[in-house]
Amino acid sequence: MSTCASVSRDLDEPISGTAATATTWLLLEQPGPWGPRALTSSHLDPALGRALEAAAEGTGVRVALIRRPGRHADPGTPAARQVYAAHTLPGATWLRSATITDPRRLLDLDLSALGRGEHRSFDRALDGGAHTGDPLALVCTNGRRDRCCALLGRPLAAELATSGVRGVWEVTHLGGHRFAPTVLVLPYGYSYGRAEAHTVKEVLHGVQEGRVVVEGCRGSSAWERPGQAAELAVRTATGEYAAGVLSVVRTENAVRTDGAAPRWEVTVAHVDGRHWRVLIAQGASLPPRPESCATSVLGSPARMDVVAVRELAPAALAS
């Protein structure tokens, strides 16, 4: 049976520059089944879900639900829930955790501050602190949003958990169903598509070493899509895989007078002072196909094509 994920894979659709964007992730444990919009269609109080969605609007915070891998019959109201917050901007990355019994305490969070990378309200409101365990691997498994996430994501989450990988959670939505199974790794915030267990294990090992794995990487959630593709292009061109050393410092629309698809000039900076100018062009993935199993409408998903990567001389930076 053809699915959006199998079609995307067969067409070898590029995945660089397709990650969800969020400077900060806020994750709440919610066992049981999830609906298409899990914050308001799960066993979480929908009023709370709507309030969290409204509070996060425009802050750079993305709120999602998580649950342990395995069967998801309704266990009743959990006595305790795990909460995580992770800020993904290079040089200011952190991962905090807390355990709560009343999820309404999340309404006491200052989400604007969390989006800016300030974790004091998380620690104060939830009695949280620095996460000292293994990095997190969040596998999208919400089949009510797209069946590929369940068909491909749930077996991956189960395989990782049963093989002894710690820090594995199922998550409600990471975007890009057609790249299932999709995985978000925290604290660095890199997303991966068409993931296999051995790749996720290598990614997590890399996190522990302070290293970014670019194989299967969709990009860092800290950047918009052109920046995601540009950063990965610089890593590939230079062989620089250390985490936290590259930042997208400028994204400018390239002037077009021919009515063609958008282009961007993205400046990527290294902590050692080097800079690169990356030209990104928006292309269309052809032929048209459903972008999700939840729709029959044909579309041509936008793709981020790397046109050129050029290291800038110091004199060019001053101009």
Site of tokens 């972008």: 291
- CA triplet 185, 187, 193: central angle to 5 degrees? 20
Structure tokens at 197: 């267990």
pLDDT at 42: 92
Contact in structure between 83 and 95 (CB atoms under 8 Å):
no
Q: What are phi and psi of 143, to 5 degrees?
A: -65, -20
pLDDT at 258: 66
Rounded CA-CA distance 286/234 in Å is 26
Note the Cα 17 to chain centre separation in Å: 11
Contact in structure between 181 and 152 (CB atoms under 8 Å):
yes
- Which residues are within 8 A (CB) of 141 and not within 5 positions of it... i.e. 6 or more apart? 149, 150, 153, 154, 157, 170, 171
pLDDT at 296: 78
Q: How far is CA 299 from CA 6, 22, 280, 292, 296, in A?
A: 16, 25, 21, 10, 9
Site of tokens 């961007």: 264
Structure tokens at 18: 């397709």
Identify any residues that bridge with 276 across adjacent strands, giving them in sequence order.
268, 311
pLDDT at 150: 87
For each of the chain's 319 residues, which pLDDT tens digit applies? 688 888 888 889 999 999 999 999 999 999 999 988 989 999 999 999 999 999 999 999 999 999 999 876 566 666 899 999 999 999 999 999 999 999 999 999 999 999 999 999 999 999 999 999 999 999 999 877 778 888 899 999 999 999 999 999 999 989 888 898 999 999 999 999 999 999 999 999 999 999 999 999 999 999 999 999 999 999 999 999 999 999 999 999 876 656 677 999 999 999 999 999 999 999 998 888 878 887 878 888 999 999 999 999 876 665 5
As a whole number of Å, the end-to-end CA separation of the chain is 56
Q: What are phi and psi of 233, to 5 degrees?
A: -65, -40
Rounded CA-CA distance 121/200 in Å is 32
Rounded CA-CA distance 58/56 in Å is 6
pLDDT at 75: 62
- Which residues are within 8 A (CB) of 237 and not within 5 positions of it... i.e. 6 or more apart? 276, 309
Q: What are phi and psi of 196, to 5 degrees?
A: -120, 160
pTM for this prediction: 0.93
